[in-house]
């Protein structure tokens, strides 16, 4: 019976082995590490993988030759990603010619690696073992468009925190000054702000009702209170997410 593992790494450098292993363990991604092409071929006879990471400079059978054996002789269709100490521009043409699907260069970057994992592994695999469970925000869309870029996620989340604070203040001021026109404008703008943090299902209908300006005073107040409460809770969780991202970068 075939064993099923997420990732096979063929890498002979001990430091890079430890780096890759630490990054994958953070995401609970099962993996096996071998330090030669011969060992990789042997493992592939009894274990199936979702992704293969091959150093192109392996001793003996190098990453290019290993990929040809895997694709042409063993008829394995699993995606292969090259790890190279050369520049991407120098290596990519030969990588693709040998049947590899992508490549990234050393020194191994966690951000770049996670981007590769996002591209080739099932989405549910890319949930960090150290990430929090949030009750209000939903990071699915942000994770999808970021492709594992932690700096981008931090930038966008910081922007959300800043913008939602401004939107909530304007909503409150417009309501107290009874400026219905401005209230409608801000409600419409807030619709754009909330999408990135996955708040559409929680707030879209409420903000649309405020924007349309056909609520009684009591209904308007109730709807605004719901927006305030949800967005303030979302802002707290977004700040916790930023903290997680900072920890991730310093890992």
pLDDT digits (tens, 9 = 90+) for 21-55: 988 887 788 999 999 999 999 999 999 999 999 99
The domain spans of the chain are: 3-126, 140-249
> Mean per-residue pLDDT for 122-137?
66
Give me the pLDDT at residue 131, please. Answer: 57
The model's pLDDT over 162-203, given as tens digits with 9 standing for 90+, comes to 999 999 999 999 999 999 999 999 999 999 999 999 999 999
In sign, the C-alpha dihedral spanning 102, 105, 107, 110 is negative
Q: What is the pLDDT of residues 66-80, one digit of tens each?
A: 999 999 999 999 999
pLDDT of residue 229: 95
The CATH number that domain 3-126 falls under is: 3.40.50.2300
Q: Specify the pTM.
A: 0.54
User: In the prediction, which pLDDT does 84 show?
Assistant: 87
d(CA 97, CA 101): 10
Residue burial 47-77, b: 16+ Cβ < 10 Å; e: rest: eebbbbbbbbbbeebbbbebbbbbbeeeeee
* pLDDT at res. 129: 46
Task: State what percent of residues in the chain have pLDDT above 70.
Answer: 92
User: Which residues lie closer than 8 Å to 39 by C-beta, 6 or more apart?
Assistant: 10
Q: What confidence tens digit (pLDDT) does each residue in 58-107 have?
A: 999 999 999 999 999 999 999 999 998 887 777 788 888 889 988 888 88
The beta strand positions in the chain, using DSSP E, are 3-10, 31-34, 47-55, 80-84, 102-105
Q: How far apart are alpha carbons 90 and 69 in whole angstroms?
A: 22
The residues, any chain, with a CB within 8 Å of residue 129's CB and separated by 6 or more, are 25, 26, 27, 28
């Amino acid at each position: 019976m075939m064993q099923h593992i997420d990732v096979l790494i063929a890498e002979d450098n001990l430091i890079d082995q430890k780096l890759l292993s630490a990054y994958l363990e953070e995401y609970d991604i099962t993996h096996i590490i071998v330090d030669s092409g011969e060992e990789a071929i042997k493992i592939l006879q009894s274990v199936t993988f979702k992704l293969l990471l091959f150093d192109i400079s392996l001793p003996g059978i190098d990453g290019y030759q290993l990929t040809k054996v895997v694709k042409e002789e063993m008829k394995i269709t699993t995606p292969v990603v090259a790890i190279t100490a050369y520049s991407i521009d120098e290596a990519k043409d030969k990588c693709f010619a040998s049947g590899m699907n992508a490549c990234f260069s050393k020194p191994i970057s966690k951000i770049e690696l996670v981007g590769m994992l996002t591209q080739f592994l099932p989405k549910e695999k890319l949930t960090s073992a150290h990430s929090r469970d949030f009750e209000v925000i939903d990071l699915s869309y942000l994770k999808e468009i970021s492709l594992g870029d932690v700096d981008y996620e931090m930038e966008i989340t910081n922007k959300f925190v800043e913008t939602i604070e401004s939107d909530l203040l304007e909503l409150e001021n417009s309501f107290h000054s009874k400026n219905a026109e401005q209230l409608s404008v801000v409600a419409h703008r807030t619709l754009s702000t909330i999408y990135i943090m996955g708040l559409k299902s929680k707030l879209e209908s409420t903000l649309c009702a405020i924007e349309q300006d056909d609520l009684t005073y009591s209904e308007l107040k109730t709807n605004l209170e719901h927006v305030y409460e949800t967005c303030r809770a979302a802002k707290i969780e977004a700040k916790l997410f930023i903290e997680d991202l900072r920890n991730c970068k310093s890992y």
